[in-house]
Amino acid sequence: MIDKEDILERTGRGLAVFKHYINFPVRPGKNFRNPLYEDRIASCNIYYDRHAQVFKMKDFGNNEYSGDCFWFVGMLYGLDVKRDFVAIINRIVSDLNITIVHTGNNDMPARKKAVEKRIIMNENDNPIRKDYHTEVKPFSVAELAYWQQYGIKPDTLERYNVHSLKSFEGYNRSNKMYKISSSATEPMFAYMGIGFTKVYRPRNQNMRFFYGGEMPEVYCFGLEQLPNKGDMVFITGGEKDVMSLASKGFNAVCFNSETAAIPTSLIEMFDRKFRHIVFLYDMDDTGRNESARRMDELSSFHVLRMELPISGAKGDKDISDYFASGKSAADFQVLITSMLEKLYSQTMMLLKSCEMDYNNPPESSKTVVSVNGVPLGTYDNLLCITGGEGTGKSNFVSALIAGTLADDTQNIDTLGFEVSPNYSDKAVLHYDTEQSEFQLFKNLSKTIKRIGLPAPPDFYHTFYLAPMSRKERISMIRDSMDLYYHRHGGIHLVVLDGIADLIRSANDEAESIAIVDEVYRLAGIYKTCIICVLHFVPNGIKLRGHIGSELQRKAAAILSIEKNENPAYSVVKAIKVRDGSPLDVPMLLFTWDKQKDMHVSAGEKPAEDKEKRKKEELQGIIKEIFRSRKKITYTELVTELMQAMDIKERTAKSYISYMKTNGMLNQDSSNNYQP
């Protein structure tokens, strides 16, 4: 009787078996394409397992296709390596024409010439059939209970196109049709894609996964369900992990296995969309080793690696097991915050020295007049505040910040603006790059005085960044936003007082574009409103310099604070609003109240002043448009106004109608316009 050891001894510990069935030259240690499926990347090789003392095949792109020569032959002929092992041995003996001669002297058996029977690889040979058929059925109660233990509900299964299968029909490597049916004790699920299906049998240890159709070159489950931008994306070991995370509100994807090759192009895409890319592989040896290898391979992208506090044993090795054990999204968020605390430990040590301590005021120093920023706008967007020195911007900023710190019982004067209270105690962050430490403390004191509190709330943080270099400032801002976002469960408002101080020159086009893009990206990632203070006096309804142009393009709104004709008052004018006409927005006044020792709202400027401003601004724009031409078509005029004023088409058309009515434009018979 020929046994396993006999074959291994006569085939060089299985190497000759691999060489016989693969119709191209292979040698240990050299990568090749997996002949068991249409592999496009050479990520497979033959190696010697010193522990088992046999040659094995390892597919680094798909761990399901790895094993010794007996497993390999079983895959070729659709045989189960455990149930059909005798048949596999007989097949090898027959195909390689092996004869074992047992003698009293233990003579080595003679090996006859192998019969040519290779895997079909050439286009001219008969192709392996890829067609398949699935019979879908409704999820049973027991099947839904299986998914529910991981927090995965029917809506999540539907979102990720996961179905329960009654049966699957396909073809093996010998082009013989086979059919697998599900049962109550062995359910079968399908991850369905375009032109292919990945079948999952959770209770079958021999063949948990198999495939139908033409698998894509890169299989990435969960890619279609990712948002356009976000804080964090997890790369997990399997589809169940992806859905388990999604059910808890976290973004995740997986590839075909933890050993699958990950295209750099996808990592680059994740890096553009997300602040963090985190590998969350299984806690067994394979998962730990592969996640460590990914960290090394993708170090240029600053990817992260998270380890779960679980044993790594079967049933307690991945994130779905973690949730199945009773852990919640809040428990997992604690792990995320802990990971970031370690990541930013050095940053926070440095930043702590910059945070204002209300109970330990700094020593008095020479006062420097500074311009502060004002929070105004919507989540995911930028609001720009601009104006000259001495216009009352610091107090305006103080009043608006106070509005975010107050509760429903307090009647706070926010200088005529409506400010949404911070009901959820999310972080409110104020970064100052220009004022002295003492002046910033005075402004902080004014904010606290306005809301009548003895000290700042725990979620309000003010930072003095003037001593830092420009490069250090943006790094500190970026890292601290990320940490406080997780520590406080979100960020309600960010004030960047002195955005031009984050770059070397406000007139450097490349630097201006880069810093505004980065700040805009942060607003989207953390779903907050970022107020950018620009220390320029605007030219009409346009901001100066390259950084001004970029903010004009990206900001949802721009406000200018100026001294009124009566210098006792400051006036707030809209330069840009995303929806509507800035020239139709009321101009609000505020002034100093000696009795209250703070600035207070003084109402709106008269309607005739708003009308006067509107005419003057439009006359200036028309003068620029017609500087080098005498007339222009209606369509061209609409386009010119949209570009000059950064407004929408409907607003530009309303301005044209207004200017015609008020005699600022004339229209001839050819539908051309002139001043």
| Residues 457-515 pLDDT 10s | 999 999 999 999 988 999 999 999 999 999 999 989 999 998 989 988 888 889 999 99
- CATH architecture of the domain 230-343 equals 3-Layer(aba) Sandwich (3.40)
Lowest mean pLDDT among 55-59, 116-120, 299-303, 646-650: 116-120
Please tell me the predicted confidence (pLDDT) of residue 127.
Answer: 60
Banded pLDDT at 163 (limits 50, 70, 90): very high
Per-residue pLDDT tens digits for 216-227: 888 999 999 999
Task: Tell me the Ramachandran region of residue 200: left when phi exceeds 0, alpha when psi lies from -120 to 50, beta otherwise.
Answer: beta
Q: Fold identical between 230-343 and 373-605? A: no
Q: Residue 42: is its pLDDT beyond 70?
A: yes
The amino acid at residue 151 is G
Per-residue pLDDT tens digits for 279-326: 999 999 999 999 999 999 999 999 999 999 999 998 899 999 999 999
Per-residue pLDDT tens digits for 390-427: 787 778 888 888 888 887 667 888 888 888 888 889 99
Top pLDDT among 294 and 388 is at 294
Lowest mean pLDDT among 103-112, 215-224, 513-522, 598-607: 103-112
The tokens 């002139």 sit on which residue? Answer: 674
Distance CA 185, CA 204 (A): 10
Dihedral over Cα of 353, 354, 358, 360: its sign:
positive
Q: How high does pLDDT run on average in the chain?
A: 85
Is residue 249 within 8 Å of 233, Cβ to Cβ? no
Q: Domains of the chain: which residue ranges?
A: 4-96, 133-213, 230-343, 373-605, 614-674
Q: How far apart are the first and last CA of the chain?
A: 106
626: which DSSP letter?
T
Distance CA 455, CA 99 (A): 90
Per-residue pLDDT tens digits for 116-156: 333 333 333 456 667 889 999 999 999 999 999 999 999 99
Distance CA 314, CA 290 (A): 18
CB atoms within 10 A of CB 172: 16
Question: With respect to CATH, is domain 373-605 assigned 3.40.50.300?
Answer: yes
Please tell me the predicted confidence (pLDDT) of residue 389.
Answer: 80
Please tell me the predicted confidence (pLDDT) of residue 580.
Answer: 67
Q: Return the closest-CA partner of residue 223 out of 160, 274, 140, 265.
A: 160
- State the fold for domain 614-674: Arc Repressor Mutant, subunit A (1.10.10)
The amino acid at residue 35 is P
Q: Return the closest-CA partner of residue 36 out of 5, 67, 6, 14.
A: 67
In order, the DSSP letters of 169-197 are EEE-TT--EEEEE--SSS--EEEEETTEE
Dihedral over Cα of 223, 227, 233, 239: its sign:
negative
For range 221-241, the mean pLDDT: 94
Please tell me the predicted confidence (pLDDT) of residue 408.
Answer: 67
Is residue 30 within 8 Å of 116, Cβ to Cβ? no
Q: Residue 333: is its pLDDT beyond 90?
A: yes
Per-residue pLDDT tens digits for 574-591: 888 776 677 877 888 999
Q: Residue 109: is its pLDDT beyond 50?
A: no
Dihedral over Cα of 508, 514, 519, 524: its sign:
positive
386: which DSSP letter?
E
Is residue 486 within 8 Å of 337, Cβ to Cβ? yes
Lowest mean pLDDT among 94-103, 184-193, 508-517: 94-103
342: its two tokens: 């370690």
Distance CA 512, CA 503 (A): 7
Share of the chain above pLDDT 70, in %: 92
For range 263-279, the mean pLDDT: 93
Lowest mean pLDDT among 13-22, 69-78, 465-474, 575-584: 575-584
Per-residue pLDDT tens digits for 246-264: 999 999 999 988 988 898 8
